[in-house]
Amino acid sequence: MDKIELCKLLVSEIYEKMDASHDFQHIERVLMNAETILQTEPTADANIVRLAVYLHDVSDAKYADDKSAQNIILDQLKLSEEERQHIEDIIESVSFNGGNYLEAKTIEAKIVRDADRLDAIGAIGIARTFAYGGANGRKLYDEAEEARFNMSEAEYRTKSTSSVTHFYEKLLLLKDLMVTEKGKQMAEERHMFMVSFIQQLKNERDGIV
């Protein structure tokens, strides 16, 4: 079994224990996005991208207290020290963290981050937002709540804002944070769909027909 297939096998059991916003279907969609972007980035190391996609959420702070699961799997893959460090660096740069994200320094990191952020917007992004909100007892919306734009990572992770507020604090910002040309193109339609959805939700909430 090659490293990609082994990694897929090892991570799938972990993701299937997560809610629908971060399950293995999420990983499969991110991989599909990454493969699409890879077609336009011939200098990228495709296998590093694939391994980073599979691993990027196994020790997500929303679900894990430490990086033990990530480290155990990386140990089993028997990567070179350089490959392992590259993958770890990519994973560190993926998270939004309330706007406190790290720079994606390599083309592989840029691809993985764009691929992951594409799955956070559009119709899938809407579905995932409400899936996560439902799994964590969040309100659909809160008219009195103000979106936060200058916050620490701790503030971003500890305050449970409503699902609609999350659109303003993160999802509607992602289009302009894409870094690959293909990622930017793919984000346009998804972003506009979210804008339309938010307006329709507001109309229905306010009784506008």
Extract the tokens encoding 1.
């079994």
Reported in sequence order, the residue ranges of 89-157 that DSSP labels E, i.e. its strands, are: none
Domains defined along the chain, listed by start: 3-205 (1.10.3210.50)
Predicted pLDDT of residue 4: 97
Do 148 and 167 contact (CB within 8 A), yes or no?
no
Extract the tokens encoding 86.
């590259």
The packing angle between helices 46-55 and 24-38, to 10°, is: 160
Burial of 128 (0-12, 13-18, 19+ CB in 10 A): buried
Predicted pLDDT of residue 167: 96
Handedness of CA 153, 175, 184, 22 (dihedral sign): positive
CA atoms within 13 A on the CB side of 13: 7
The packing angle between helices 181-205 and 122-135, to 10°, is: 60
Predicted pLDDT of residue 100: 60
Rounded CA gap, 149 and 131, in Å? 23
* Per-residue pLDDT in tens (0 to 9) along the chain, 209 residues: 799 999 999 999 999 999 999 999 999 999 999 999 999 999 999 999 999 999 999 998 888 878 899 999 999 999 999 999 999 999 999 988 655 678 899 999 999 999 999 999 999 999 999 999 999 999 999 988 888 887 777 776 677 789 999 999 999 999 999 999 999 999 999 999 999 999 999 999 999 87
H helix count then E strand count, the chain: 10, 0
CA atoms within 13 A on the CB side of 27: 25
| Other CB atoms within 10 Å distance of the CB of residue 136 | 12
Do 74 and 55 contact (CB within 8 A), yes or no?
yes
Candidates 28, 172, 48; CA nearest to 107 is 48
| Other CB atoms within 10 Å distance of the CB of residue 126 | 20
Q: Does the predicted TM-score (pTM) go above 0.85?
A: yes
